[in-house]
Chain A
Amino acid sequence: MNRLEQKTVKVVVYDGEGSQSISAEESYEAISGLLNNGFTVARITSKSELGISNTTPQLVLGKFDGKQLNGAESGAGASTVRLSEFPSSDPNTVSEIAEQYRQEQDAFDHSSWKPWFPVIDYDRCTNCMQCLSFCLFGVYGVDDEQQIQVQNQDSCKTNCPACSRVCPEVAILFPKYKAGPINGAPVSQDDLDREKMKVDISSLLGGDVYSMLRNRSVQAQSRFSKERSSDKALNERKKCLDKLKQDIDIPAEVLMSLPSSDEILEKAEQAKLRGEEALAAIRNSPNSSKLGSS
């Protein structure tokens, strides 16, 4: 099972009928701690808001004084709800209680992944498949109607916004990116002009970044064969990586973790092929006028 398909737990801070009041300070300490440990929390003030689920295990914390909260632990979702006493003396321990519950339920461990992945703005996307053709890591795919999709979020390389830099329509967001419009800020005409300039980086680099890698690799091999200098090879690689880092903001860690040039080229060819196949399918579909228009 993909880790993103694992079940999660929900923590409910209950402050309503049948329990004693939780102060604002206690509530803040508890909820803040839970959020910082990756939990989803609902603060509710009525039993009717409990939203008992058959699928999501819920830990309900309140000042119940050992009493039952009628209706909370019965019905269709009874097995997924557990009442627990709110630790008034130390609200910070709420996170420990929740973590213990998560482990018992064998639920998703939030600390296992930093959520960094592209998000597509379909108001802007023209389904041109440049992102699909560019990404080496199989993050993108197409649905049954050949519409581009982000399919494998956890394959994305943390802090790498490179695919957004090759999108000609500024349609790819990374909500955690430092600057607009990639972070989701409104897109201005200046941004569009700048993006078009960035697309021209492709030609500057000789068609696309992978072509650049390929050419540099060939040139380097030619030189190495003459000079047989490993220092030259390292310098060449460093120059190439520095240029990529500067031009399309790929973090050094991502660049350094890339496979060998040959593997990159192979993956790039595969990605390009996926893009071409998707575009060909669009051209052959009855709705072809709606898609792939860029």
Chain B
Amino acid sequence: MDPHADPSAPLQGEPSNQTKRKLKREMRTQLVSFVLMIFITSMAFFSIASDVIPNGFAIPFILILAGLQVVLQLYFFMHMNEKGTGWVNAMIWSGLFVAALTVASLMLLIGVVKY
């Protein structure tokens, strides 16, 4: 792209055939990940809502499902699986790392100690 291009000029024309093919593939991937997300959410919901599944199994199960769904969302909907996302991955994973430590320490400090 020309670095001196006027950024307020309307973009016209069709994308290249290569881009079109890529977008078509992407559309399919996104629809599949959406169906998976709906399926995962419903599974989590029913494993808690039904009385058949014991809670000792259901609780770790839904936490794993939530993790799975977040990975789907980050890597497919938010395109973290694409090339050139090294910094993006670094930021989100360090954010998640600090958040995990925060959750663990807050649970232990204000939750467990006072019981």
Q: Do A and B bind each other?
A: no
